[in-house]
Homo-oligomer: A and B are copies of this chain.
Amino acid sequence: MSENLNETDVEKRRPHLPHIVVLGVGFAGLAFCRAFPDGLARITVVDRQNHHLFQPLLYQVATAGLSAVDIAQPIRVLLRKRTDLAVRMAGVTAVELAEKRVRLDDGATLDYDYLVITLGARTVYFGHPEWAEFAPGLKTLDDALRIRRRLLMAFEEAEVETDPRRRDELMTVVVIGGGPTGVEMAGTIAELSRQVLYRDYVSINSAKTRVLLIEGDPDVLGNYPPDLRASARRQLEKLGVEVMLGSRVKDIRRNEVVMPDRSIRAGNIVWAAGVGASPLTSSLGVPLDRQGRVLVRPDLSLPGFAMVFAGGDLAAAKDAEGCVAPGVAPAAMQMGRHIVRLIADDIRAARRGQTGARPNFVYKNKGSLATIGRSSAVAQVGRLHFSGLLAWFAWLAVHLFFLVGLRNRLSVFASWVHSYFTAKKRARIILDVDVADGDKR
């Protein structure tokens, strides 16, 4: 294998081209890598995972509707056609802006001419990291498989539990946070217990599972217009979810959610109340907003570092009215493509000894969609508001269309058609991968 090239050799092949380092292959990073013109630069993309994750469907993996493989695609496969691009599976430990250098957790460093930071968001617990153990969040495939295991295990334990109080507790699920993730988790868990699992158990009636959705604000889906919020609430209640609005969570313990006026015992607690930017942002030394997002300039570059850009859920991109683009996939993709234009212009201008134009990023809101359950959803497209079955079909079409990779799209579609007509969930498999074998080989 001596004729193999290592990465350094690849870089040497086009030493005259500027080097772009992209951190994170979520929607923003992937859109950047796909849209960047050929032949202008060498690109290195870094991600901790070997796959791009279609996060909008992660809740389906957590609730046993889809397999992990259905919503993930290897990054190397997605970017295979780019010969000017190298993929590196590693974590980022530091960005040294002054030195134009990135440090990786495998000890290597990468020097860059342009840096694109699209590391996304993670679950945050508002200063209560100890809650993570009792109320897992939903950001990665591993999170989803963990929640799936805990949900299914609760029914298994309830089936053989003889103490009726503990049995009721095991059959109670609390979802904290009434945003899109919380709404779809609560709705789908209610469906799972009422329409799917109820035939599986002899001793318990899983259809009697209590699903509670706790939201601190006066309504669910706070970013949606009032009529759609009300519709979402009604659709949730129709599925059997108890929606608790204006309710604050004071503390979370094992199997217990403590609120100012009461305490709820629950076998499963799911946290959908908070995401914050990747912790790396705090080490950059640039201004951040309260959620840790980088307060980028209107062109998405970092203040003081014109060659460094941030996009996706990690960037707080304000428009002329001071509104921040929302943390959704379409915004992330738009940012990724905006950064493409700036860097490509910059490189082309530099060749002529000029400076590239720097148009501001403008988020184009093409509409909002939130799903609640099988044939339940709300949708807003411009001035049009839909809910129920029609919104659900719109949601289905949009998500299938954007799901990366033909094979996955077909497989997911087949799973949905099957589960729609039979009310089955095929992924009800409890995995228990023990990865305590620290060494990877």
Contact = CB atoms under 8 A, between A and B. Distances in A.
B432 A435 contact: yes
B5 A146 contact: no
A153 B431 contact: no
A267 B159 CA distance: 44
A133 B437 contact: yes
Contact of A50 (B87, B203, B430): B430
A154 interface: yes
A199 B1 contact: no
Interface string A141-155: 110011001101110
A255 interface: yes
Nearest to A169: B441
Specify which of A133, A408, A411 lies most central, judged by the most chain B CB atoms within 10 Å of its CB: A411
A2 interface: yes
A53 to B, nearest CB: 9
A295 to B, nearest CB: 33
Given A162-B8, A202-B10, A50 B80 contact: no
Contacts of A76: 200-201
A355 to B, nearest CB: 32
A426 B3 CA distance: 29
Contact of A1 (B141, B208, B410): B208
Interface in A1-26: 1-10
A6 B268 contact: no
A267 B441 contact: yes
A409 to B, nearest CB: 11
Contacts of A141: 429, 431
A248 interface: no
Interface string A161-182: 1101001101100000000000
B67 A7 contact: no
A293 B164 CA distance: 41
A139 interface: no
Contacts of A153: 89, 440-441
A34 interface: no
Contacts of A96: none
Contacts of A89: 153, 156, 159
Interface in A215-253: none
A424 interface: yes
A195 interface: no
Contacts of A10: 202-203
A89 B200 CA distance: 13
A435 to B, nearest CB: 6
A77 B200 contact: yes
A348 interface: no
A72 interface: yes
Interface in A279-312: none
Contact of A431 (B88, B142, B167): B142
A1 B165 CA distance: 9
A129 to B, nearest CB: 14
A385 interface: no
Specify which of A6, A68, A141, A156 lies most central, judged by the most chain B CB atoms within 10 Å of its CB: A6
A199 to B, nearest CB: 6
A414 B411 CA distance: 8
A397 interface: no
Given A4-B208, A5-B202, A441 B255 contact: yes
A347 interface: no
A74 B429 contact: yes
B159 A440 contact: no
Given A8-B162, A72-B429, A431-B431, 9 more contacts: A1-B204, A6-B161, A50-B430, A51-B429, A69-B69, A89-B156, A133-B437, A141-B429, A254-B441
16 contacts: A5-B203, A6-B167, A7-B160, A10-B203, A67-B67, A67-B69, A74-B429, A142-B432, A142-B433, A145-B431, A150-B440, A154-B441, A407-B424, A411-B426, A432-B435, A433-B433
